[in-house]
Structure 1
Amino acid sequence: MPRIALKVDVDTLRGTREGVPPLVKLLADKDAGASFLFSLGPDHTGRAIARVFRPGFLSKVSRTSVVEHYGLKTLMYGVLLPGPDIGRREAAVLRSVRDQGFEVGVHCWDHILWQDHLLRHDERWALREMRRATDRHAEIFGTPPRLHGAAGWQFNAAAARAEAVLGITYASDTRGTHPFVPVDDQGTVLGPAQYPTTLPTLDELIGIDGITADNVHTHLLALTEGATQDHVYTLHAELEGMKLLPVFRRLIDGWRAQGHSLVDLGELRDSAPATTLPRHRLELGTVPGRSGLLAVQGALQSAAA
């Protein structure tokens, strides 16, 4: 049975507080697995205003109703209001996700800082920021994290090496078509195995070519109809956990009707361990509907690790 791994990115305080609980309830009611990746430090969402000069950013904002989904208060954090510490304030919510049987992992420390600055810095910077998040994860959950999913798919060789240093054993930091081990141009392994996001996200689709919140599920379901390979779908607590929760419910029902099993990333890892995976270069590229450069699955280097 083909599987779809559900990866839940939680970017903000509001998403943690208001978006995560409805998602947990829906997933539990539907007996679906999922991996929740948390932002664990300050919410500085308001600083994203600096992206206004990035190609494609304004069109994305106009299509996806950022103020409506994230809230005006969230958009002031780090600019007109101090950024609240998500991990400190909402530790009970985070632990409740784990206690209800869902896989948990690290998204980032400071979402905006990582997303907007990783590619400008070296491995030391990446290691410092990632260590802040892994230390907080250990503080909240009592165990170090094993799973990491980079904020905004901002990821590079420096971050991959930092994952290896910090004991991350599998990750979903990239966009691609199938699981792989990331390597450099010489074929040297950079970090743990990647289980990349393979399907487009709601905010990449809504507002393009007549796609709306009412019909976006039919577009995604068309991409998985008859699929024989596993997929990874990334959803956001601020979208599918709130106003777009009915869309996600339709997706779950549609995927089940297609015969897909809904699982967490750990299940993909268990059935496709790193030793069996092909090696691909880690590269930067673009994804339709999303602004800027993202980490993508590059050219094949060798058939198996």
Structure 2
Amino acid sequence: MSTPGTGKTMTWGAARSGTLLDREEWALTNAARTFDYLDYGKDSWSQDRHVAVKMAEASPGLAGQMLVHRKAREGVVDAVCRSFSRVIDLGCGLPTMRRAPHERGRVLWGSRARTVYVDHDLAALAAVRAWWEHPAQVRGGNVRVLDLDLRYPENLASALEEHLDLSVPVGVLSTLTLDHLEDTEVTGLVEALASRLAPGSGWGITHLSGMVGAAEVYTDQAQEQGADTRLVARDPDGLRKVFEAAGWGRWRGLSPRELGGGEPPIAALTTLARSDRASRTAAPDRSERTVLPVRPARSTGVD
């Protein structure tokens, strides 16, 4: 694996010692931990590291794309949080970002900020509740963590309505989340939210671009273990068309390109241009009519 533009070999850190980390029976392939390791994090087990290395061998550009993804994610999250006081983070994963969406919202919107984190991984849910939800609520912040499966989008939309006013525009985030849904599941999720959210709502997306070999390795390993997870390779145009068909328009790509680097990850902002929702009970705040146009903040590339 080579760092984009440098020709230097790049590897992930060696396995860390520890009682639980070395117990293979506890370490089935897990999306949150595997991608935490690919993102140079610390919350992974030996099985996750093993799968990540095999993924990188199958797709040599994966290491570079994950490095660029850190900058892409920063830009997408910042753009959504600056445009909306109400933010939904789908598939939030482990709490690794230095400035989480709810913390950005508190600085930008004060007491108006509302953040809902959604995941279906028990370890991720426990960590996010401990590190993000509880401390935020102690300080008076409006933060909720929901255990929901994105493969059942109608349940998701109904649960969100209990915590957010969906008659006004909200911001949605999915960073390396849609990669783990089948094509029909992505379509169902995108269409369901288009029918339940207010026009002017925005969606910030990051997604691996290509990486077919890595996706096959990850999915095959999960199937061998009986783990309920998968990785689906997609290209930018294919993903954009899914959103546009459901009424999400004005797709703006935010993928940073590194000099001499390979294919960057998919990073984009899109706005809900229409909705099939039958009625609206409240007009959107003027400050929250749309996520676009947005001038993404300068990024250091480090969350």
Report if TM-score (shorter chain) is over 0.5: no
Report the TM-score when normalising by structure 2: 0.31
What TM-score does the superposition give when structure 1 sets the normalisation length? 0.31
Larger Rg: 2
Higher RCO (Cα < 8 Å, 6 or more apart): 1
